Structure 1
């Protein structure tokens, strides 16, 4: 059973680009690698042929997985989101009550999370803790190291 995944326009575009690249560039390359290995002689003792066939199988599995994800992908309609609460696509500025540090995160779908760019998944512990909170509220989030307490300072949208 497949699950619906929600994407921003940027995330959906990246998914399509990766799928197109795998189909139009990598698939023909895998076929060419198999043909080249086949031309080298006896297939029963040809490790290069076996490796090329295995690589093709892995590529086809990846393509099938991405096609399934793409078929169940839904674009997030930002016009229907409540701007006063932390939801998907919100930029949330928070303050750690323990050490006073301030951080800004963008809440995104799990498939688009990238901590290096400040994008955290709404299914992560911090993301779940921030969802639905408004400016001035506090979020107590249980993480492996204990409980973190954050104050919501600001919520914006790009």
Structure 2
């Protein structure tokens, strides 16, 4: 499989989630299952069913994290330079219609969180920005029609 590009902070966050899920969540869920078993008949025990479902979801996420971390290619953004947008760039751009400014860092898929200012490199807006520099305009197809943006600043921090 292909490597998954990731920043240092994104890798650290996923590793911390993996650690928490394997050490704390597993124990908590096992205790909840044991407590629910103690209540007797398992066929009509909602607590037992809920705990087993939580266990299944937790184990699924642990497997997903193991795969992501195994394929992670950590890219140190502080060592990147340049004037055009690429992975790791923190880009400030303005909507040419509303004059609204936004700043996002272009990161790997598993660490993307637009509400925290991190967008996936495979997102439509990031794909439209790749290779562009300060002062360049780009267009993104949106549900309400195409939107035009102008890049104000490209930084690697």
Relative to the length of structure 2, the TM-score reads 0.86
Alignment of 1:107-118 (within 5 A): 107-118=106-117
CA contact (8 A) 1:110 1:122 kept: yes
Two-structure CA RMSD over aligned residues (Å): 2.1
CA contact (8 A) 1:81 1:87 kept: no
Q: Who is 2:88 aligned against?
A: 89
| Higher Rg of the two aligned structures | 1
Q: How many residues align?
A: 157
**72-81 vs 32-41, which moves further:** 72-81
Q: Who is 1:70 aligned against?
A: 69
Q: Who is 1:152 aligned against?
A: 151
Q: C-alpha distance in 2, partners of 1:103/1:116? A: 11
CA contact (8 A) 1:92 1:152 kept: yes
SS in 1 for 2:141: strand
TM superposition shift of 1:32: 1.2
Cα deviation per residue 1:11-56 (whole Å; 9 max; x = unaligned)? Answer: 1111011111111111111111122222222334434333322322
Q: C-alpha distance in 2, partners of 1:99/1:79? A: 32
How has the CA–CA distance of structure 1 residues 150 and 41 changed in structure 2, closer, same or farther, with 3 Å as cutoff? closer
Relative to the length of structure 1, the TM-score reads 0.85
The runs of 5 or more residues in structure 2 that have no matched partner are none
Q: C-alpha distance in 2, partners of 1:100/1:73? A: 37
